[in-house]
Structure 1
């Protein structure tokens, strides 16, 4: 018995040593250096592209002004010769002489007024263009924050890309930039917004209403909804690079997977009990690094839980029970740094920091009822509440 235990311990030690030996810390640091260098090279490339474009435009302008100069110069020389001829012959044609002089003066004035102006705006780059991802910590969130008001008809749905945060401030869709300013807005009149996500593959936001799916570009233009052959009542959406995932609004929710490389062709459908129990509803889904987080509400036990699924197999990686209560407020999540998660529980106004392996790390009580959150540019946490959108910056 003792020998068996010793052998087991030895095997475990060997496994630990093997895992330690396989981990290469240099690969992690080298990759970050390469990414920063690639950003610099891309910036240089972009500047060179603009330089070449403007150089070609400038050469066209220079050739045009040189052509006009040669034309004026020829006219002046011709008129001077003609004026000299008039003086040599002593002809007293004063009208002709006056006309020649005026023509010479006009052409000289035109030449002297020739110029090419280049208005150059200084290229402003500050350190916010590169943000080094750090461990998420509630203590690093600024207590002061910007607020954007929500009316009763505003949706709390949020989504972001590398440039903008998209919010709904009734009756407008609004884009907020890195300086936390609304830089673009457009009227939205196509029904209540259930959820929003960003698709890097399609390079657009995807807006989900009760029964329709809209593609909205970065200048907030959109047209008719996509043709939906599945005919479901939708509730939540999220994207990977390859797929769009939609959950249904019903007890015993289903999840559908659509191919982004085609015209949203249906790839997979998961139903209870793979998604949840028949008495459960899925409040939110979020994709991150080949996993799908499901925020599930048990209508019988009034128990909320978070499940992390593999998008390849749809097997449950881990399950975490959360709050208990009959309040049906939104219960959502968002991915944060290092494959960790932030859970937003409006039932008890809590924000939960969850580790990548599904354990509680920390929690805070929020000062108003939170509905959703979105980590923007890796250094701003956007939290939508009942009445406002709050933007918290991370303190360095």
Structure 2
């Protein structure tokens, strides 16, 4: 546990394997705890605990986000217009036809799960989040509106590992911040402002103990924030690769998705 919390101390010298699988755009990945699913352009790469990989062809458009659904034991995959499920045991991809944007011109962006619900966010200046039940029908529950300012953009979102809180990475015309809300009621809990350029691209990743990592693509910088909104650490990566996303796989591996491939570290 303590090694994972000190995630920013990892260096290229401690790497155990580098895998040459590279995304075309969004660098989406998610872990089930014992496996890792990575978006690699026109294919999905599924890695097991021994880092053996299985490739699955992907022909349904750019993937903007992936999350693991513990309740259904499925990966959920979001493109700008549709949502899919991926069964890691059967290697089958199916579309969730009951989930569609609330308007034809709107585009999906992010996804995350609690034990009961699936949350879907929208691309651009649209702060709505749709909530669906994690049942076989994936029925619509409600739409949460105006969770940040009218001109705000929800850049990324993740539930804490205990599923009790929903973390929203938000940018506005003036600032970036991390907002934390109750995942059941959407009640506001706290917010942390971040020194990030307004035109930056960023990703959000969760660590144990309700800690958050914000990955700043433009400056190759990572912020680590604890569950009390304190900025614990900030690190600039002085490397020839650009950090795009980070995922912890169970208690075994730390995976860093970069502009040159996947770097995997043993915990």
> Do both share a fold (TM > 0.5)?
yes
Once the two structures are overlaid, the 10-residue window that deviates more, 261-270 or 283-292, is 261-270
Task: Indicate which of 52, 57, 60 corresponds to 1:181.
Answer: 52
Structure (1 or 2) with the larger CA radius of gyration: 1
Indicate whether 1:160 and 2:34 are aligned: no
More helix by share: 1
For residue 229 of structure 1, report the CA deviation from its aligned partner. Answer: 4.7
**Structural RMSD (CA):** 2.0
Q: Do the aligned partners of residues 155 and 258 (structure 1) sit closer, same or farther apart at CA in structure 2, a change above 3 Å counting?
A: same
Task: Give distance in 1, aligned partners of 2:38 and 2:23.
Answer: 14
Contact 1:307 1:319 in 2 (8 A): yes
Q: Do the aligned partners of residues 229 and 247 (structure 1) sit closer, same or farther apart at CA in structure 2, a change above 3 Å counting?
A: closer
Task: Indicate which of 154, 177, 194 corresponds to 1:322.
Answer: 194
For residue 151 of structure 1, report the CA deviation from its aligned partner. Answer: 4.7
Task: Give distance in 2, aligned partners of 1:292 and 1:350.
Answer: 23
SS of structure 1 residue aligned to 2:94 = coil
For residue 187 of structure 1, report the CA deviation from its aligned partner. Answer: 0.5
Listed as ranges, the gaps of 5+ residues in structure 1 are 1-132
SS of structure 2 residue aligned to 1:324 = coil
Task: Give distance in 2, aligned partners of 1:319 and 1:154.
Answer: 28
Residue deviations 1:177-228 (CA, integer Å, cap 9, x gap) = 222331x111001100010011111111111000101111004311344232
Task: Give distance in 2, aligned partners of 1:277 and 1:150.
Answer: 37
Once the two structures are overlaid, the 10-residue window that deviates more, 379-388 or 137-146, is 137-146
Indicate the residue corresponding to 1:279 in structure 2.
Answer: 151
Once the two structures are overlaid, the 10-residue window that deviates more, 256-265 or 241-250, is 256-265
TM-score by length of 2: 0.88
SS of structure 2 residue aligned to 1:153 = coil
Contact 1:328 1:347 in 2 (8 A): yes
Task: Indicate which of 66, 70, 75 corresponds to 1:200.
Answer: 70
TM-score by length of 1: 0.61
Indicate the residue corresponding to 1:137 in structure 2.
Answer: 6
Indicate whether 1:291 and 2:165 are aligned: yes
Listed as ranges, the gaps of 5+ residues in structure 2 are none
SS of structure 2 residue aligned to 1:223 = strand
More strand by share: 2
For residue 308 of structure 1, report the CA deviation from its aligned partner. Answer: 0.6
Q: Do the aligned partners of residues 152 and 143 (structure 1) sit closer, same or farther apart at CA in structure 2, a change above 3 Å counting?
A: closer
SS of structure 2 residue aligned to 1:180 = coil
Q: Do the aligned partners of residues 334 and 328 (structure 1) sit closer, same or farther apart at CA in structure 2, a change above 3 Å counting?
A: same
Task: Indicate which of 80, 95, 104 corresponds to 1:210.
Answer: 80
Indicate the residue corresponding to 2:176 in structure 1.
Answer: 304
For residue 150 of structure 1, report the CA deviation from its aligned partner. Answer: 4.3
Q: Do the aligned partners of residues 356 and 379 (structure 1) sit closer, same or farther apart at CA in structure 2, a change above 3 Å counting?
A: farther
SS of structure 2 residue aligned to 1:382 = strand
Indicate whether 1:349 and 2:217 are aligned: no
SS of structure 2 residue aligned to 1:162 = coil
For residue 264 of structure 1, report the CA deviation from its aligned partner. Answer: 1.4
For residue 142 of structure 1, report the CA deviation from its aligned partner. Answer: 4.9
Task: Give distance in 2, aligned partners of 1:227 and 1:138.
Answer: 38
Indicate whether 1:388 and 2:254 are aligned: no
Task: Indicate which of 198, 212, 226 corresponds to 2:97.
Answer: 226
Indicate the residue corresponding to 1:245 in structure 2.
Answer: 119
For residue 292 of structure 1, report the CA deviation from its aligned partner. Answer: 0.3
Task: Give distance in 2, aligned partners of 1:328 and 1:351.
Answer: 13
